[in-house]
A and B are shown apart, each in its own frame.
Chain A
Amino acid sequence: MELIVCVKQVPDPEAPPASFKVDPATNKVVPPPGVPPVISTFDETAVEAALRLKDAKGGKITVVSLGNNLVRDVVKKPLAMGADQLILLEDPVYENGDSWSTAYALSMAIKKIGSFDIIFCGRQAADWDAGQVGLGIAELLGIPSITLAKKVESVDGKVKVERIVPDGFEIIESPTPCLITVTNELGEPRYAPLKGIMRAAKIQPTIWKPQDIGVDPAQIGASGRRTKLVKLFQPVKEGKCEIVEGENAADAAAKLALRLREAKVL
């Protein structure tokens, strides 16, 4: 099977909340010093979904990432996990895009890749949490889409997906080519084995510049935005925690219950 996975490099979403800073002058996030970026969590799960299909059916996995200043060790992780090829859409003009311009550029790159069976995306990027790019790509390419997948199988030339809903899951069947967004319930992404890391080190990513994929310059990066970011800010936390103390853990716990009763919480 020909599989494509879209992965985004993001600031580490699990960095301690206290280290998170916004520069109000530029409306931008100041990356915490010393915390390297990562592949967005759900995109790693998307790579895992593709690898499982490749394990079952054979085929090839092409990873695509769009951005600027992409850290090679970070974006090469899917290769170390077992993907075959890495295409980077890397250029300063991609900066400050939004879901629209990102989906447009990725869809143009996928057109250039040519034939494929399934495109995998994460359910949402761990920085802007939009959850739009995957569906945007599907719409721009005119292919069916299935979101929130926790299991993906290929059966008789069709894909069968278990899609998470609040009280269980749905089974959806789709012809290919199609696009699937993946959620963490699919399971932990595999570790990159040492052999994989060494193999990845030898693979040179393919770099496609905007002119290589024939995009309209007015539709990419900041000029392709359809949303205007008026303000980015950190909400103020007013709450102050009252720490209840005791002689030991059990005593503190009992005193906590009393305090909650006093405060009419219980």
Chain B
Amino acid sequence: MADHKGVLVCGEAIEGKLAGVTAEMLGGGRKLADKLDEGLSVVLLGSGVKGLAAEAIACGADKVYVVDDPLLKDYQTDAYVMAMVNAVNQVAPRVVLMGQTSMGRDLAPRLAFRLQTALSMDCTELDIDAQSKALIQTRPVYGGNARAVFTTESLPQMATVRAKAMSPLPRDDARKGEVTDITAGIDASKIRAKFVQKVKEEVTGVKLEEAPAVIAGGRGLGGPDGFKQLEGLARLLKGAVGATRPAIDNGWVPTSIQVGLTGKIVAPELYIAIALSGSSQHMAGCSGSKTIVAINKDPEANIFREARFGIVADWKQALPAFTQKVQELLKE
């Protein structure tokens, strides 16, 4: 096999645009590639994805590999693993990065085992060791209570990257890059688990991941009615409502608004945490918020170790007064 060189990002598209985490990986990957003094490339897999090549170059890629195949229209593990094995063998990168997304979670481990190489999932920091050129992989473990730093010897070195952990570069449409088509090399008869259908959950209002303010509620809200009351505050702040896992497990709110290690990762300007204890697994999804504000009746709750401002109070009394005051202040 040829010498392994450069950084290869596995790109993803969402509704015809480059996914946020892909742009972030191109920003982070650019730094790694520059440290290595090697190239940054991106592979775009899908059906009708070539149009995204220009955007990927503007976001920092030197080279774009396009793997366009109708069999890649919907994500299917076997098809994507075959296509990625093919791409990695052709490009022979030193480092492969994927997003910690529903695709990355499924694809990266299988690909790593097929390539007989090691992988670190859900990295929040990546660096290059100047001497050995090894990829230094930092990832939260123990639900966010600790960080582990790993290195690996086999090539390519693989990592998945947590959303919002890296910054995208400012888009530069003048940047030049090369676009190359590669064949997918998929044997359709080897696709075993098959995608049948997608069922979308209705979302109304502001998207959680993009909201400037998130009003999050926990088990202490006691039921769906508590969450209804958060919506008023969310509307005032043009924000969205989030939740901890117990609220989802109890069926008070839809799955799609869970924030945390196994839910959505958000980083709004303002995160108001109401009647939630601030478990490490929850904070893993919101600790990048600019300002965290806590309302909790227990002064010992861990959320007060995480928040910038807080009150020790029962939310039932505090929330109406808070919402009303916010409304007054915003009118001024």
Across the interface, do A129 and B143 meet the contact criterion of CB distance under 8 Å? yes
Contact between A250 and B320 (Cβ–Cβ < 8 Å)?
Answer: yes
> What does DSSP make chain B's interface, helix, strand, loop or mixed?
mixed
**Secondary structure of the A contact surface, majority rule:** mixed
Q: Determine the distance from Cα of A260 to Cα of B146 in the docked complex, in whole angstroms.
A: 31
With most chain B CB atoms within 10 A of its CB, the pick from A129, A170, A184, A251 is: A129
User: Bound complex: CA of A232 vs CA of B278, how far in Å?
Assistant: 22
With A234-B145, A243-B304, A250-B317 as contacts: A17 and B192 at CB distance below 8 Å: no
- The residues of A that contact B148 with a CB separation of less than 8 Å are 128, 229, 231-232
- The docked-state distance in angstroms from the alpha carbon of A135 to that of B261 is 19
A257 near B105 (CB under 8 angstroms)?
no
Task: From known contacts A169-B199, A252-B318, infer whether A138 and B118 are also in contact, taking CB-CB under 8 Å.
Answer: no
Residue of A nearest to B291 (CB): A265
Check if B109 sits within 8 Å of A131, measured CB to CB: yes
Cα separation A145 to B111 with both chains bound (whole Å): 12
B329 interfacial by beta-carbon distance below 8 Å? yes
> How many B residues, CB 8 Å from partner?
89
**Contact: B309 with A174, CB < 8 Å?**
no
Among B306-332, those with CB < 8 Å from A are 306-314, 317-322, 324-326, 329-330
* Given A17-B302, A241-B294, A253 and B307 contact (CB-CB distance below 8 Å): no
What residues of B have a CB within 8 angstroms of the CB of A258 in the complex?
A: 325, 329
A242 lies within 8 A of B310 (CB): yes
Q: Are B248 and A232 in contact (CB under 8 A)?
A: no
A129 touches B329 (CB 8 A): no
Query: Does B102 interact with chain A (Cβ within 8 Å)?
Result: yes
Count, chain A residues at interface, CB 8 A: 91
Inter-chain CA distance A241–B312, complex, in Å, is 11
Q: Please, how many angstroms separate the alpha-carbon atoms of A98 and B139 in the complex?
A: 14
Q: Does A156 contact B (CB under 8 A)?
A: no
Are A168 and B200 in contact (CB-based, < 8 A)? yes
User: Number of contacts between A and B (CB, 8 Å)?
Assistant: 267
**Cβ contact within 8 Å between A166 and B152:** no
Is A185 in the interface zone, CB < 8 Å from B? Answer: yes
Q: In the complex, what residues of A have CB within 8 A of residue B105's CB?
A: 123, 131, 147-148
Name B304's contact: one of A150, A171, A241 (CB within 8 Å). Answer: A241
* Assembly CA distance A183 to B248 (angstroms): 12
Contacts of A25 in B (CB 8 A): none
Do B121 and A169 touch across chains, with their CB atoms under 8 A apart? no
Contact with B along A240-266 (1 / 0, CB 8 A): 011111101111111111111101011
A253: chain B residues within 8 A (beta carbon): 295, 311, 313, 317-319, 321-322, 325
> A103 at the A/B interface (Cβ < 8 Å)?
yes
Q: Looking across the interface, which residue of chain B has its beta carbon closest to that of A174?
A: B193
Partner of B201, one of A16, A132, A167, A263: A167
Complex contact B109–A129 (CB within 8 A): no
Whether A232 pairs with B313 at a CB distance below 8 angstroms is: no
Contacts of B203 in A (CB 8 A): 167
Q: 7 pairs across A/B with beta carbons < 8 Å?
A: A16-B302, A148-B106, A169-B199, A230-B136, A241-B304, A249-B314, A252-B311
Q: Which 4 A-B pairs have the closest CB atoms?
A: A249-B317, A257-B325, A249-B313, A250-B321
